[in-house]
Structure 1
Amino acid sequence: MSHILFDFFGTLVDYDDGHAPAPVKSAAMATALGRPMSADEFLTRWDSVWMAWESRCFSSHREFSMLDVAGSFLPDASPTELAAFVDVYIAEWNEGVRYLPGIEVLLSSLAGRYRLAVVSNTHEPDLVPAHLAAMGVAGLIDAVVTSVELGVRKPAPAIYESALTRLGIPASAAVFVGDNPSADYFGPRSLGMRSFLIDPAARHSAVPPGDRLSSIFDLPAVLL
C-alpha cells in the first residue's frame, strides 16, 4: 500500500453539516438583488431550493454546484451577481469549518511514508483546495479530486476511478479513510481498496470493528 486517499469534510476538518448558520450577509445580498428577506427567511428558502436539487440528483449520484443552487434561488441575477453571491455565502458557511489541532503534524508524518490525496464531495470547486492551503498542508497532497469537478459524487465508482487514474495506481495500492459508510467505506471497497471509517460513537455495526477509527489520529496505528 503506497497511497492514502482521504475524505475531507468530517475527516480532515470538523464542520457543521448543514447550511450557513447565520447567513446575514447572504440575506442582505439577496435583498440587494431584488429578493428581500431576513436571515431566517433566507434559511427557509435556501433549504427548499437546496433540497430540490438534492432530490433531483440523489438516485443518479449526479453532483450539482453552488452556482446551480444560486441560479435557482436568484433566477433574475446575472452570472457575475451569482458568482459574487456564492462567494458571500461560502464565506459565511466556512465559519462552521474547524481545523483539527495536530492535523498538519499527522499529515506530515504520513507523507513521509505514503503519497496522500483528497477525494471529496463538494459543491464548490475551490473550497477544498483553499482549506488545504489555509491549513498549511496543500504541499503534502498529491491530488485533490472533487465531485463538482467530475459531475458525480461518492459513492459513484467514477470518482474513485478518477482518483486512481490521476495517481497512476491500482485500487490495491490505496487505502481510503472517511466518515461516511457509503461514500468512504463501502464505495472504495467495491473497487478493491482497503478502507477505514471514522466512527467515534460506533454507530455503524455493518463495518467491522477493526475497520473503525475513533478519529483520524488513530490511522497510523492501524497502518502498521
Structure 2
Amino acid sequence: MIRRRPTHLLFDFFGTLVDYSPSRTEQGYRRSHALLRDFGGQLGYERFLDVWSATSARFDRASALDDREFSMADVTTEFLGAVLPRPATPEQVDAFVAAYLAEWSAAVRHPAGIDVLLKGLGSEFRLAVVSNTHSPTMVPEQLAAMGVLDVMDAVVLSVEVGRRKPHADIYRAALDRLGVPARDVWFIGDSYEADYTGPRRLGMEALLIDPQGTADVPPHDRLDSVFDLPHRLNAVRPGPTA
C-alpha cells in the first residue's frame, strides 16, 4: 500500500488529462491532403492516408526497438520525399506538419472540470506533465487552452528528450527539471508500461488509470479516472514511509 505522501505529481497527458484518438487517419485530413496537392503530390485521398499511415508505422516500429522518439518533421520529410516529384522544402515540411497537427488536435477533448482539478492540486503539490509526443508545441498549446499551463512546474516531452516512455531518460529528465528525488513523486497515467512500470523502476510510486481492471496492478494502485486522485491523496497522511 502507498504510504508516503508525495510533494510532486507527474501526469501523463494523452488519455489521462485529455481524451483523444490515437489514430493517424480517422480524424479526417482534407486540409493536409489539399496542401499535399498544392505541393505537386498526385495521391488521391484514400491513397494519401494509406501512405501516411505506412510511413508513420515504420517510424513507430523503429521507436519500439529502443524508445528513441521521432518528430513530426522527421516522418513528414520522409513521407513528402516519397510522394512529391521533388524534395520538399523546409517550408513545405513545416506547413504540412502544422496542417496535420491542427486536424489531429481537433479530436482532442478536455474533460469537464479538469482545469479545476489541476488548479486545486497545484495549490498543494508541484505538478508536471511527462508526455510521449512527436511535437514540441502540441501539449503546451493544449495545456494553455485548458487554462492550466501556468499550473505546471515542468512539461517534459519525449520529442525534446529524445526518448519516449518507458525509457528511463525521460523520467530522469523530469526529476532533474524539478530537482526532486523519485521517492517524493507519484506518477499518474493510463498506460501500464509507460506510466506504471517505467516510473516504478526509478523508485516513484505510480497510479494507473484502469477502470476495467485489465492490468495486473494492486487495487490501491488503480484509479477509475484522474478525478479519483484527490480522494487517494487525502487517504495518505503526511509523514515518512512506514
> Any conservation in 2 of the 1:28–1:38 contact (CA below 8 Å)?
no
1:171 to 163, 182, 187: 182
2:24 matched to 1:19? yes
**After superposition, what is the alpha-carbon deviation per residue over 1:22-60, rounded to whole angstroms, capped at 9, x for unaligned?**
010111111111222233222111110001111122111
Pairwise CA distance, 1:132? 0.4
Unaligned runs of 5+ in 2: 1-5, 82-86, 235-242
- Pick aligned residue for 1:207 from 202, 210, 217: 217
| Structure 1 segment 87-166 matched on structure 2, within 5 A | 87-166=98-177
Identity of aligned residues (%): 49
Name the counterpart of 2:239.
Answer: none
Moved over 6 A (4+): none
Q: Which has the higher contact order (CA 8 A, sep 6+)?
A: 2
TM-score, length-normalised on structure 1? 0.97
1:123 is displaced (CA, Å) by 0.1
Identify the match of residue 230 of structure 2 among 206, 210, 220. Answer: 220
Q: For the Cα contact (< 8 Å) 1:12–1:103, is it kept in 2? A: yes
Q: Distance in 1 between matches of 2:46 and 2:17?
A: 30
Q: RMSD between aligned alpha carbons? A: 0.9
Equivalent of 1:189 in 194, 197, 200 = 200
Structure 2: distance between partners of 1:2 and 1:179: 21
Q: Distance in 2 between matches of 1:39 and 1:99?
A: 29
Matched ranges for 1:35-114 at <5 A: 35-75=41-81, 76-114=87-125
Distance (whole Å) between structure 2 residues aligned to residue 161 and residue 90 of structure 1: 28
SS at match of 1:27: helix
User: Structure 1 CA distance, aligned partners of 2:64 and 2:80?
Assistant: 23
With structure 2 as the length reference, what TM-score do the two structures score?
0.90
Deviation of the 1:96 alpha carbon? 1.1
Give the partner amino acid of 2:14. F
| Partner secondary structure for residue 192 of structure 1 | coil
